[in-house]
Each structure stands twice: as structure tokens, then as C-alpha cells.
Structure 1
């Protein structure tokens, strides 16, 4: 089973708005929840909960279902990729465990841990490629010197009996290395099978951002890292502001670009970085990392710095993002000496200008006001938690959780956080996979204003070799082409 969430801005209100699901580039595949909020046929079920999410469940995956798809609501849509893998032909009850799937860019390395039970400490461990033990090609063994000698250039294996884990490292991976692999423990007799664990490795040709969203305070620096596969090493690397072709900056033949505000460096191995020296408010935008015909989106957000700095004994995470209409619970940790003090939650950048929203000594913070903001103090865990409900875009901004000191000689101890309330939608997972014949579920979540939108869909025409992204929906005409939606979408 798989799940994904996503969504952006919309327009007209209508309680019977429809959500849609369609295969990228195939208008005839369009399926809509209609006025009932549900669609079902022999292969797929689509349900809209009318609160903030709709799910798409494939009952029995087939190989032909591997494709890019779109979740759509109003003028908003977000991409989801479904990958169907062939199932292993044999199932074992294993004492060897490992993660089920890995994805890695071509030309890069991958290290995989295989955990085993204590009774296997002295046994030989091995790594092989294949779907069954009988047809599996051995690549490395812990009793083979070649696994730690010349062959280490491609595959190596290391056993750590103290941690009960052996690790396999594969270097310079190629697309042809994609497939099923087995990490096994050799039992060594005819009465018992080897204990083995399966994993699937997907070697991808393309480009990816290490972090698709980065943020920093105004005046600080921030670095974006984009990694690429082997085939793109000699391609020109570029950085562009979405919707503004004139903003594009290239590393050129030297592999570097620098001006007064930005430095771009290509290591010519598998990554290039973009560093903004001193962020300005106007730098908040969507951008593109580009290598050859591949590109991937990155969002930079510039936050205003707090105007006052305190040495605090109250700690809180630095930033939260939440879809409009949703709720958010924030923990504020404090030191033991503050157990008996009043805790509070306020909105603002300084204590003097901060609007109190909840206090632990105010009954309204656990009464009717709980509909919007509530606060709860747990002196055992040394944490006060604040819950904010039904958030709006206007609620975005700086907040403080504080401990009231109660005298004129010492300032309150406070912790800052920034809350960003987003209008949009999102896929919980933008890529999902399942074995052929199994079921898979995609989940898309949306903000409050998209609950009741008239359906005004558009289809993104994907350029050759490009991967559709959420940011495609917010870019300018220089990067996107659109087609009108189908008139005869099935309900």
C-alpha cells in the first residue's frame, strides 16, 4: 500500500467540486469523484473525504500501470509516479532483515545494511543478484578475499558481529544494475534453506535536489545541492528562477559561476551547489536546477530574522509548514527550574509586541478558546504543548512560547518559531511502488479553500525526458505548455 499528499491555490467555491486522477499525457484516462465524492471500476477506487484528502487505490497492479499520474483539484494538480515491480517468485520466513527498496542515481554508490539473529554470528554471509536463491548470482561473500580486494571497486561486504549486521557497498552503479538482490546467511546443510532477505534496487538516470525546499533568514547565506547521474557529468549545469528565463546562470566550461550574490560550482562527479551569499527578501521563489534536458525544482524561502536575541532555556523547533484549514501541535521544552512557572503562547517577533493567544493560568486556554488555540503543560516531561486549529494563511508568522519569570529584573525565557500556512495541495508520497498483482493507494491532501472548488483542470505537456513536478504548476509560460481539459471526463 502506498500514500501521497499535495495541493496549491484555487478560485471559485462550490460544495460539489470534483477531484480527478489521470495518467499523464492520456486525456482519455481521466477519472473523477463527481458529485458523490467517489469513483470505482474494476481496477481503481477514488474517494474524496471532503475534508482535505482523497485517495486512489489500485486493486491489483499490472505491469502497464507503471507511469506518471496527476492528482487534480480545481486549478491545482500534483504529480505522482507509480512503479510496478515483478514479485519474488519464492517467499521465505526469514531471520535476515533489510529495507525493501532503494533508489540511487546512476554512477553513485549505495551501502545496504542486512541485519541477522545472534545464532548467525559465525555463519558466512553473502550478497547476490536475482529473485530466487537458486538463480542468484553471487557478488560478494564474507569468506572470499576478493570481496575486500580488487572487487571492492564494484561490490564489497563487511560483517560486524557486535552489531549483528553485515553491510554491502555497491559502487559506480549503472541503470543495468537495477533489479532484485538477496542478502543471505549460509546455513550449510541439506536440511535447512539459507536464511535470506530481499531488496529491490532502482538505478535512475536523472537529476535530483538533496532538499527540495530550503530556508534562511534575511542577510544569511544558504546552499542548495543538486545531484545528477553519470550520463549528465559533461552536461551544462544551470540555475534559473522559475518563470524568468533571463535569470538563468550557467557553470559553463569551467564548472563555476560567481557574481556578487550567488556562487554555482559543479564538482564534475555528481553534484553541483548553488550558494546565495546574502539572502534578500526578494529571493523567495521557486527555482530550477538543470543539467542537460533534466531539471528539478527547489524552493527558497527567506524569513525575517527576530529583532531581539535572547539566551533561552526554552527550546522549540525553528519552523513549521501546514496546509490551510489544518491543525498544528507544537512542543515547547523547558528546564526543570520552570516547572512552577506560567507558560504562554503568543504571536509576534518580540516579547513587547507579542499578542498572547494562550496561557496555562487562563481557563479560556482550555475552554471555548480551545477551538482555535489551546495550551497544555506536562511538568513530568518538562514540555508545554500548543495546538492551533483551523489555520488560515493570515496566521503565518513568528510565534513565541514563553515562560513567565514574574519580576522586573529578568526577562521572560522564550523560544521562537515560524509558522507558514500554505494554500495548496500535496501528495503524501510523490513516488509509490508495489509488486505486480498487489494493491497500492495514493493519497493527496488539500487545503481548506480547495474543498469546494469548481473543477477547472489543465494538463501539463511534459517535455521529453523531463519529470513533472509540483513546481511545474507555479512556473511561467517560458517553461510550461498546457492543454485544455477533456470535455467527456468519466464520472
Structure 2
């Protein structure tokens, strides 16, 4: 179908595409195994997709071609289809796909995916993984590339041969120049799990793997690392190491804040929202949901010249030095309760819609209590090349 604008559209029902930008679903970009062996792919998802079906498919993953190889269901967290199995781990917000008895023909482009009903989103969430199968015997294999988001965490699983079960395993940042290489973290014969600051390593002899986890990621964590095994030079003339490129993206942390805040009648409450550095000079605002421009629902908004603005009982203050802005509601009444949004005003030249984050405000009588719960960041998906022309009615439905 071709629109008058000249943009060619495929029926969206046929597409299972990767949503760029926000890393709602992430995993290794490349994994490697050997003929006759097995490999595992671990994909990480957000809490909001805990109950959704997870699947593994061979690219291009067109629904019309029925390319899903294996898929979980609400009642079956672990499913097997031939040599391929998938297991959902809701407790850790990950799912693992395992390919066994590998053949060279298993190499290719796959996608781990999350099924979303049409009521939830436009398309399924998928993440591309390149699978390579080597005929040789890899003493040590790992994903070649892994991606995480600022403030989040990522894991790298490395697989080794049985003869290295009792050897020390380690993780270091490149370039790899023994004996000058400084190991970030290393297991020992007596310590199978070791932590050093934000980095931990755990050896799993039963599965012949070890896992390195990096937490509280920063953009400075990106770079080339090496997973390795420490071995006496008397055994072999080389030390098994494998390079892993780590990428850290701003991801979906464009705008984040508390999910719920509570105040008491007659008192005040504050909401602090955090944003990315690139939005330092943008206007910040507070509005009552659904926050449609046509309804003029902005209550208070900063400007380039006014970092602090008040409107009646509500004030907003931007703190560029800490990349946060704070909204304060004073002299609270019960009618102040409801769903609001902290937002960032972005020109149409930058993105189709503003960045907003929903905040549920509760106002209780003195003496009552309410415990808020944390919420992951919220970001509407970017679809480059696919203009989202929405009516106010459609936006109201989206923003609820």
C-alpha cells in the first residue's frame, strides 16, 4: 500500500520488527558455538512484559511465514521444540534460548522476541542475534557483542571445555597484553563467585559456563573486554581468551521518575524527574493526564530563560547540574489526586511526540499511609521512516 506522501507501507500485521531506541528488550548481538556442542542466548526484558509470551525465530521473522521456532505461553514457562528450548525466568526478567547438537547450518540471523497483543503496541518487540557455528573446537566461546543501558546491568555468559573446569576464570578490559593486563575480577579454586565493585563473576562447572555481570552501567563502561581462563604455561603455549565488545546506550532512560507519590491534605509533595543530558536546554513541564496539546493541560512549564516557574499552588524547578527537575504541589486537597505526567517539550524536528512519564498522585487524610512502588522508565517507541499520524482520540488511548 502506498500513501500519497510517497511512503511505501507493508501491512503492520505481517511484521515483527525490532523497535530501535529504547532497549526494552536486549541481548547479545553475536554468539558462537561449535559443531556438536550447544550454545545459549539470554535476553533481558522490562518488568511490564513479565506475563507476555517469549519466542525465538529465524530472521526475517515474518508472521505470515510462521518462522517462530519455539515460544513460551502463560502456562508453559519452559518449552522445547526439537534441538531448541526456551525458558522464561520472570524472577530475573530474562529468558534463555538453548540450541543443542549444533550443525553448521544452524548459523544465521535469529531474533529473540516478545509477543504483544495489538491492544498493547504496534508490533512485537524483537532483538537480533547473529549465530555462528564453527567446525573447530573452541576452548572458550562468548558473545562477541553485548549491549546494556545506562543505569542498568548486562551479563556475558562464556562457555568452556570440560578440561578447564578447575581453572580460574577472569574478566579484564582490553587491550589484552599479558602479563600487563589488569584483571577486573577473577574466580579461584575455592571461590566460584567473586565480586569487585560493580562487576561480578560466577563459575558454573555443572554447565561448563561462567557469567560476568556489570551493574549500574555508565557510558564509560563501553569498550573491548576479554573473558579468559588462567592456565599454567606448562599445559599449553597459549592462554584461552575471547574478546567481547560492550556497548552502553542511553536506552530508555530519556525520562524517568517515581510511579506514585503520596501527600496529606493541607501538606505538600514533590516529584523529581530525571532526564538525559541532551535535554538540558529543553522546556520541562507538569500536566494532568492525558496531556494532549489540544486540551492545553500543561499546569506549569519552564522556559529557556526561566528555570523556576510557579502557577498557583504548583511550582516547577529545573536543575541542569543534576539533570533533574522537581515539581512541588502545595496546600494539597483530595481533588489534587489523579494521574499526571512530567514532560519534556521537544520540537517536532527532533521527534514526533513529547517525552512524558506518568505519575500517580494520591492525597490522603492525616494519619493514613500509602507505600509507593518503583516503576521502570517510560518512553514511546521511535519508528524512523514511519510517520505516526495520530488523532487526539488515538493519543488519549495511547497515553492512558
TM-score (norm: length of structure 2): 0.44
Higher relative contact order (CA 8 A, sep 6+): 1
